[in-house]
Structure 1
Amino acid sequence: MEAAISISASLVLYKNDSDMVNRVIMSTINTPLDIKLCVIDNSPDPNLKTLFTNIEQVDYHYNDANNIGFGKAHNLALSKCRMADYHLVLNPDIYFDKNVIPELINYLENHQEVGLIQPKILFPNGEIQYLCKRYPRMFALFARRFIPQSLHFLIKAYLDWYEMRDMGYDQVADVLYLSGCFMLFRRKYLDEIGYFDENIFMYLEDADITLRMAEKYKTVFYPHVHIFHHWARGSYKSINLAIINILSAIYFFNKHGWKIF
């Protein structure tokens, strides 16, 4: 792999667990490639700043207690990042081995038609997270959020289809909706299609940007390396976040088209 390849990365924080944040930082900077990480901290105080002291690969920016949301904060990071061949969007609740990014970059280098790639995503216990999805459907979003898990057996076939479980999660596949927890973009294609839609505060911004990329370039699930993701599911625990999720869904469907089932 050519040493000249450059990578920027962005990480958005909001009152996150410091041990988790430290783990994703170490995962990123221990990668044997030239990576510069830009951190945007939306938290009400800059307590997490101490994690980044004397780490030269990291640029930390405190947002003065202004929570501008997931997508807008990543866009802010992109505006502050150096120009690079690739850009990696990270969640603060993931971690991964040092071989993950190099293998994904190698695949991108050999497949110029790909604009966005994502590895297999596992729970910390090793179980697969089925985060690849078909085009968002109103019923799927409603069912996953509001129908109790104990009743999911009634719609299991539908949810399995929506989560693309039929592909087995063991082969490279084109996917229209990739998770925002780890998105590796070819930067020139990202510049071309535009960054995250800042009208979406949080939720479905990953679906929106995957769909826009897929209109021109391939958006790929790559299962031969994996990351670990704690997956907080904040909207399942907070009424405010649930409302934000619903508003994001309405905006998304108005923009891209409504599909019920």
Structure 2
Amino acid sequence: MIQLSIIIVTYNSLQYIFNCIESIYEFNDLDESKFEIIIVDNSSIENFTEMSRLLFDKYKNRIQLIRNEENKGFGQGNNVGIKIAKGKYVCLSNPDILFRVPVFQKVLKLFQDNKDLAMIGGKQIGGRNSSFLNRPEYDFFVFTAILSDFLNIVNLYFQNYFYLSGALLFIDKEKFIEIGLFDENIFLYFEESDITKRFLKNGYSTKFVKGFIYDHLVGGREITSETVFDIEIDSVKKYCLKYHYNFRSFVNRKIISYRIMICFCKLLGKNDRVRKSEIYLNRFLKVKSDLVLNEIKM
């Protein structure tokens, strides 16, 4: 009987997916009959065909590969996998994840021992090593980022203010279905914050476990493209609207934060950081300007 369904949503991820799968098998501590791997591919038919061929050559029929006919985002892709998953619990993994310790048996025991537990996250190594982050309503970047980084270092997670990194999550499937799965109106970013709020609202809990270590191969922090920035802004706008938070206030906090960062970086002579902060400041100033123009038109 399958207990755990590992779901990986991919998008042009051939350079990562095989290392991810190998790490799953390397650190798997369940009988192979008790877990399944489901890959939901959001790529083009050409990329899907190539992945299908390579996966079959290496793993035969051990892995289920599904082509998502239309890329409707991270959450929708995971929903596709969850709806066909046979396990009582699901592991949602990015393709650029590498497991570093056996965790599956411990995850199952945590869920079985705590009937209110809905979601578990682990210790992320990679990028800023952010295993959890501030929810948008509590985000005042220049201040809360420092606090968040410190709390990640000392492994102190507060579910009422933070959300677990969506790079690797373990979720009780029945509880997830109860709260409506991922909101498919949110294409990418802040899905974890949204589901955290819904789990808590329904009386469930989330948990961070520092011993569940994994690598997230996010590389260095570069300037986000305008397209990705626009997607992120759209997501946080929808999140704020959904929970009646002031989106304009969120934008203003970002503007203040980047202005403060520019001043400090200039004093410290960190010209590269100044340039990056100025790019983001200008983007948020444009978002604010667009908000004002839309209000005038209304």
TM bucket normalised to smaller: 0.7 to 0.9
Structure 2 residue 45 is matched with structure 1 residue 48: no
Structure 2 residue 190 is matched with structure 1 residue 187: no
> Compared with structure 1, are the counterparts of its residues 254 and 22 closer, same or farther at alpha carbon in structure 2 (3 Å cutoff)?
same
**1:115 alignment partner in structure 2:** 118
Q: TM-score, normalised by structure 1?
A: 0.80
Matches within 5 A, 1:9-158: 9-16=6-13, 18-30=14-26, 31-33=28-30, 34-44=34-44, 45=46, 46=48, 47-53=50-56, 54-64=59-69, 66-82=70-86, 84-97=87-100, 99-123=102-126, 129-137=129-137, 140=140, 143=141, 155=142, 157-158=143-144
Q: TM-score, normalised by structure 2?
A: 0.71
Deviation per residue, 1:169-226 (Å, 9 max, x gap): 4357546411111110012211211210000111111211122112221111110221
- Verify the 8 A CA contact 2:101 2:212 in the aligned structure 1: no
**1:148 alignment partner in structure 2:** none
* Letter of the structure 1 residue corresponding to residue 151 of structure 2: D
Q: Across the two proteins, how many residue pairs are aligned to each other? A: 237
Deviation per residue, 1:45-73 (Å, 9 max, x gap): 22222332144331101234x32211111
* Letter of the structure 2 residue corresponding to residue 165 of structure 1: F
> Quick one: distance in 1 between partners of 2:214 and 2:79?
23
> Compared with structure 1, are the counterparts of its residues 112 and 172 closer, same or farther at alpha carbon in structure 2 (3 Å cutoff)?
farther
* Letter of the structure 2 residue corresponding to residue 62 of structure 1: R
**1:170 alignment partner in structure 2:** 155
- Verify the 8 A CA contact 1:27 1:98 in the aligned structure 2: no
- Verify the 8 A CA contact 1:115 1:219 in the aligned structure 2: yes
Structure 2 residue 241 is matched with structure 1 residue 254: yes
Which structure has the greater CA radius of gyration?
Answer: 2
How many percent identity over aligned positions? 23
> Quick one: distance in 2 between partners of 1:202 and 1:6?
28
Segments of structure 2 that go 5 or more residues without pairing to the other structure are: 254-298
- Verify the 8 A CA contact 1:116 1:185 in the aligned structure 2: yes
> Quick one: distance in 2 between partners of 1:224 and 1:172?
14
Segments of structure 1 that go 5 or more residues without pairing to the other structure are: 144-154
Relative contact order higher in (CA < 8 Å, ≥ 6 apart):
1
RMSD: 2.6
**1:198 alignment partner in structure 2:** 184
> Quick one: distance in 2 between partners of 1:165 and 1:181?
20
> Compared with structure 1, are the counterparts of its residues 214 and 139 closer, same or farther at alpha carbon in structure 2 (3 Å cutoff)?
closer
- Verify the 8 A CA contact 1:116 1:184 in the aligned structure 2: yes
Once the 2 structures are TM-superposed, how far is the Cα of residue 246 of structure 1 from its aligned partner? 0.5
> Compared with structure 1, are the counterparts of its residues 49 and 128 closer, same or farther at alpha carbon in structure 2 (3 Å cutoff)?
same
